Chain A
Amino acid sequence: MDGSLGLIARMPVLQVDWGTLVSVNLPTLLFVVVGVPLALVGYIVGADVLVRQLPKRSQPSVRPWVWVGPAIIFVGVILVYPMVGTIVRSLFDRHGSTFVGLGNFTRLLTDGGILIVLRNNLLWLILYPGLVLLFGLLLAVLADRVRYEKTVKTLIFMPLAISFVAMAIIWQFVYYYKDPSEPQTGIVNAVLVNIFHGQPITWIQDTRFNNFALILIGVWGATGFAMVILSAALKGIPAELLEAARVDGANEITIFRRVILPLMMPTIVVVGTTMVIFALKAFDVVYVMTAGNYNTDILARRMYDELYSAGNNANASTLAVILLLAVVPVLIFNLRQFRAVEERR
């Protein structure tokens, strides 16, 4: 439980005020649960009544903005405005007063520590989408042929319902290390010692293995997502097509390679790009397992550190922009895919 201790120490101890909870918070919750939907429905109904007051001719040109308006405002304020702000901040010094151009970038990228961070991000970028796709595809294809498919899919999907904090607790037990003189309580080391007669390994601290151990946690969590979508695509392949291939004497592996795989490719691309984006944005696993110690730091976590521990806005913004630059190719690829689909409609 080592890594997490560091981050906990920074937090205040929670104190509960039961009086406020019952007398103020509970009514607020009820008010919110009823009030929020009412406000949302009220907005669209009310706005439409107002649009109807306009001359008949201008109604069709005003109405769409009533419907997309809220979304554009939210996305503008929450995503676009800060994105621009962060890019601007990355060009200034840490007090935000002096323009330094690309100075932050050259300083950060020549810092020795950043190389390990970038290497780790690269590891995540390659292994995480690769393994998620591999296991997701394997499970989707194999589970398709057994009678207990639904049970299998539910169990594989379950980690998605588990928060990263709970996930960290689960995996700290899995990777737990005990001195060789004592019985191992973590299942990985227990198998290693009792079945393979090896020495127990400190999976979280040992810099030879820890990045892989962390990525595996991420893979465990995301495979269910990939599997569900891939399995849906698999079910969309017409059964006659597979039957025809079988009649022609093709074996299952050939059918998979020549028929199933090409037909599933668009979906594989969608899941793959989503996973690449997730890999770049990965934060939680490293944050809760090691807090970036033992050479496991990644960009998003390092950025959090710069922002809150070091209070260095310039460095944090610069790291964020590096992340954005890494995402740009994926973004362009996504837009191309999307437009290709639009043109086919």
Chain B
Amino acid sequence: MSVATAAPPTTPPVRSAAEKARWSQRISARVSSAGLNVAVVALTLAWIVPTLGLLINSFRQGGAFNTSGWWTALAPPYAFTLDSYRAVLGASDLAPSFFNSFMITIPATLIPTAIAAFAAYAFAWMKFWGRNWIFLALVGLLAVPLQLTFIPLLTLAVKLGLNSGNTLPGGLNAGFLAIWIAHTGYGLPFAIYLLANFFRVLPTDLFESAEIDGAGPVTVFFRLVLPLSVPALASLVIFQFLWVWNDLLVALIYVGGTPEVAPLTVTLTNLVGSLGQHREYLTAAAFVSMVVPLIVFFSLQRYFVRGILAGSVKG
């Protein structure tokens, strides 16, 4: 019989250590559960408030955003309007740049994804001279600042006639071709890195049995590798699409302000200045530019987490 257990309950400080721990654990669990929810909700709110503010301002009547904060619009009387969206969608220069953005983004997503898939397949499943070194060099190029490439590439593009003034056979503006090639080069290191890591962990027996059945590498690639890699391909497509669609720097460098080739980001940057006295339109213009990336993001996001997992976590 120990003294501690015999001690009457009138002296609570003598509770056993285990009991004490359990008790404090229960309290801290309660507190931390409430604290946890508050913390998560607060952080999330902090993250969406900037966008939310813009969204609300984009539905307010002209000039209202300039005299009172967007939060005042949340209290009655409500006075929301679609005026800004009407004005922006009616603005003549937005439609062509929408088109240009697609014209730039679709090939600039497809080409690097396909070429990276070819290369990643070879890196993962073929043996050739210098394979590891070439792969290492490619990964190293991930760190090269794009700015480093602009001057020599621009010189080269002009020499080859790939500046945005020229028209290629078929009516294609040469500026488009230049920007596709540029985005392909810039996107390849990350794309190959991501896909090779994913292809490498595909089950070996699958390939062996396919080879025994007499399937060539092209058949294996299209029938086995690609269908099995949908998550990785989807996440790569999202990244590349978002990066190209939202890119301003590369577009400015290679097509400059040439209106026939200017994508949405360039036009929007122009609007920021030219709409000086109609700043309310900017809010709507910003949202118009977000629509396509958000659609792409929401429709492909379920593949996203699984795809990106491939290389980073296993490593």
Contact = CB atoms under 8 A, between A and B. Distances in A.
B44 A161 contact: no
B274 interface: yes
Contact of A44 (B118, B150, B188, B294): B118
Best-surrounded residue of B57, B97, B312 (most CB of chain A within 10 A): B312
Interface in B247-279: 247-249, 257, 259-260, 262, 264-270, 272-274, 276, 279
Given A68-B119, A251-B28, A163 B152 contact: no
B244 to A, nearest CB: 11
Contacts of A163: 245-248, 264-265, 268, 289-290, 293
Interface in B122-143: 122-123, 126-129, 131-132, 134, 136, 138-143
B53 interface: yes
Nearest to A223: B47
A139 B43 contact: yes
B246 A8 contact: no
A249 interface: yes
Interface string A248-292: 010110000000000000110011000001001101100110000
A103 interface: no
Interface stretch (A72-80, A105-113, A122-130, A202-210): A72-80
B145 A300 contact: yes
B147 A7 contact: no
A142 B313 contact: no
Contact of B259 (A12, A36, A85, A280): A12
A200 interface: no
Contacts of A60: 127
A252 B143 CA distance: 37
B40 A143 contact: yes
Interface residues of B, number: 128
A100 interface: no
A77 to B, nearest CB: 7
B116 A32 contact: no
A54 B156 CA distance: 35
A16 B93 contact: yes
Interface stretch (B3-11, B74-82, B98-106, B204-212): B98-106
A247 interface: no
A72 B192 CA distance: 11
Interface in A281-334: 281, 283-284, 287-288, 300, 303-304, 307, 313, 316-317, 319-321, 323-324, 327, 330-331, 334
Contacts of A169: 54, 272, 282-283, 285-286
Mostly helix, strand, loop or mixed at chain A's interface? helix
Contacts of A174: 49-50, 53
Contacts, number: 369
A85 B123 CA distance: 28
Contacts of A300: 145, 147
Contacts of A37: 110, 114
B280 to A, nearest CB: 11
A77 B267 CA distance: 29
Contacts of B221: 44
B297 interface: yes
Contacts of A303: 147
Contacts of A342: 132
A283 B218 contact: no
A8 B273 contact: yes
A89 B152 CA distance: 9
Contacts of B246: 161-164
Residue among A45, A171, A231, A338 facing the most chain B CB atoms (10 A cut-off): A338
B265 A64 contact: no
Central interface residue in A13, A78, A143, A266, by most chain B CB within 10 Å: A78
B37 A146 contact: yes
A119 B196 CA distance: 38
Given A74-B188, A252-B32, A170 B51 contact: yes
Interface in B30-61: 32, 36-37, 39-40, 43-44, 47-51, 53-54, 57
Contacts of B202: none
A166 B248 CA distance: 11
A320 B149 CA distance: 9
Nearest to A6: B273
A165 B273 CA distance: 12
B139 to A, nearest CB: 6
17 contacts: A64-B122, A68-B118, A68-B128, A70-B119, A79-B189, A82-B148, A83-B149, A135-B43, A139-B43, A142-B43, A163-B245, A163-B293, A185-B66, A187-B70, A283-B249, A320-B148, A342-B132
Given A64-B128, A303-B147, A323-B147, 10 more contacts: A8-B272, A14-B97, A40-B111, A67-B126, A79-B141, A83-B149, A161-B242, A187-B50, A320-B145, A338-B139
